[in-house]
């Protein structure tokens, strides 16, 4: 798979064209941002960990019946993926209250929900990714009713799959954000699943093992990412 010109550079990844119009190469960076880019930093080795972890989890998710953009891992940081048109929604599933949910609704952090919740944010940096509902998403023509139903169904399936995988690794899946795209008219899972996009708490100690260590200046950020990768059975080579 040959990398051609760069199509896009985001906060955490670069995306390259290939000779195949249906295939892109994503290259994960060590850069980290929070609060819509206000806080900037680097998490050494993050790119490789997020690449390897996303690929491992996407393969498990695909095997359980949710289509994904994953094609092939090319090296530590780079992966070939199906070229999708991203649905501009951040789809967030929560099992436990924390983060913006606790802040917005005054619910104590750590409160376990009886059933997972789902919410949508409109992916728009200028507006600060505002919270919207499915009726807004339809009004803004971000997705059709059928697409939203498929997205909801897949998001809860992904939650069930991830909850189990992380629990086997001694981690509680608190919440996560995923994104979907359209590939030849079908909705498939895109983007990434990593400690940048999930909240993971150690099942015994309750320690935060994700990007909240960076967002909230808790220290040992790199160590937490490495530990999550190690527990999932990934061997991360030092670069």
Q: State the residues that interact with ligand TMP by CB under 6 A.
A: 92, 99-101, 175-177, 197-199
Helix intervals (H) in 94-185: 99-105, 134-139, 145-168
CA 230 to chain centre: 19
Q: How far is the CB of 176 from ligand TMP (least distance, A)?
A: 5
Q: Say whether 97 sits in a helix, a strand or coil.
A: coil
Q: How far is the CB of 102 from ligand TMP (least distance, A)?
A: 8
Of the pair 217, 239, the CB lying nearest ligand TMP is at 217
Q: How far is the CB of 197 from ligand TMP (least distance, A)?
A: 4
Of the pair 4, 167, the CB lying nearest ligand TMP is at 167
Do residues 24 and 80 touch, judged by C-beta distance below 8 A?
yes
Q: How far is the CB of 1 from ligand TMP (least distance, A)?
A: 27
Query: Look-up: residue for tokens 């608190």?
Result: 174
Between CA 72 and CA 207 the distance in angstroms is: 33
Of the pair 18, 142, the CB lying nearest ligand TMP is at 142
Q: Say whether 162 sits in a helix, a strand or coil.
A: helix
Of the pair 14, 211, the CB lying nearest ligand TMP is at 211
Q: How far is the CB of 208 from ligand TMP (least distance, A)?
A: 11
Taking phi first (over 0 means left), then psi (-120 to 50 degrees means alpha), and beta for anything else, what does residue 36 get?
left
Of the pair 18, 228, the CB lying nearest ligand TMP is at 228
- Strand duo 89-96 + 171-183: pairing: antiparallel
Angle at the Cα of 57 from the Cα atoms of 73 and 217, rounded to 5 degrees: 100
Q: Which residue is nearest to ligand TMP (CB)?
A: 99
Q: How far is the CB of 12 from ligand TMP (least distance, A)?
A: 10
Of the pair 18, 174, the CB lying nearest ligand TMP is at 174
């Amino acid at each position: 798979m040959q990398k051609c010109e760069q199509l896009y550079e985001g906060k955490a990844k670069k995306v390259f064209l290939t000779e195949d119009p249906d295939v892109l190469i994503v290259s994960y960076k060590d850069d980290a941002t929070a609060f819509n880019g206000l806080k900037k930093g680097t998490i050494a080795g993050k790119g490789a960990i997020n690449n390897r972890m996303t690929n491992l989890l996407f393969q498990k998710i695909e095997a359980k019946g949710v289509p994904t953009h994953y094609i092939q891992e090319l090296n530590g940081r780079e992966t070939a993926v199906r070229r999708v048109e991203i649905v501009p929604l951040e789809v967030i599933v929560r099992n436990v209250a924390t983060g913006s949910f606790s802040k917005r609704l005054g619910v104590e952090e750590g409160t376990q929900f009886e059933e997972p919740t789902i919410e949508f944010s409109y992916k728009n940096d200028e507006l600060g990714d505002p919270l919207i509902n499915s009726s807004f998403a339809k009004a803004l023509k971000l997705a059709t009713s059928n697409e939203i139903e498929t997205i909801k169904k897949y998001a809860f399936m992904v939650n069930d799959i991830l909850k189990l995988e992380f629990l086997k690794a001694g981690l509680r899946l608190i919440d996560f954000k995923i994104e979907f795209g359209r590939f030849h008219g079908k909705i498939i899972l895109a983007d990434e699943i990593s400690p940048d996009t999930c909240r993971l708490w150690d099942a015994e100690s309750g320690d935060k093992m994700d990007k909240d260590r960076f967002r909230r200046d808790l220290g040992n950020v790199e160590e937490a990412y490495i530990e999550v990768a190690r527990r999932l059975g990934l061997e991360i080579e030092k670069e």
